[in-house]
Amino acid sequence: QVQLVESGGGLVQAGGSLRLSCAASGSIFNINAMGWYRQAPGKQRELVAQITGPGRTNYADSVKGRFTISRDNAKNTVYLQMNSLKPEDTAVYYCRVVVANTYWGQGTQVTVSS
């Protein structure tokens, strides 16, 4: 089993920044991918950013140039630095970790006011 603890969400004005963290613990061997998804009210959950293998990253087009995903292998922690936030970034953000199985965090609310 893998446990994920997320932190860093909150309320911020448009143009502001937030940093999300997700720490993984438990039966962690060969993490295949760590990433962030988000789900806004009435919408499907979507990929925001992901880091795989030796450090390859991919981003949703809507966040390219504004968000940066990074990973601390020693701490089994993935971060999402979110800059130039927009009201449309408002959503619950979920951490996702893929080892032998896929695990999701509990979600953290990000609200961007205009």
Q: Are 78 and 36 spatial neighbours (Cβ–Cβ below 8 Å)?
A: yes
Burial class (CB in 10 A: 0-12, 13-18, 19+), 47: middle
Q: Which pLDDT tens digit goes with each residue over 78-88?
A: 999 999 999 99
- Using CA atoms, how far residue 105 sits from 17, 56, 96, in Å, is 21, 21, 6
Q: Which residue has the tokens 């390219």?
A: 64
For the stretch 7-57, pLDDT in tens is 999 999 999 999 999 999 998 888 899 999 999 999 999 999 999 988 899
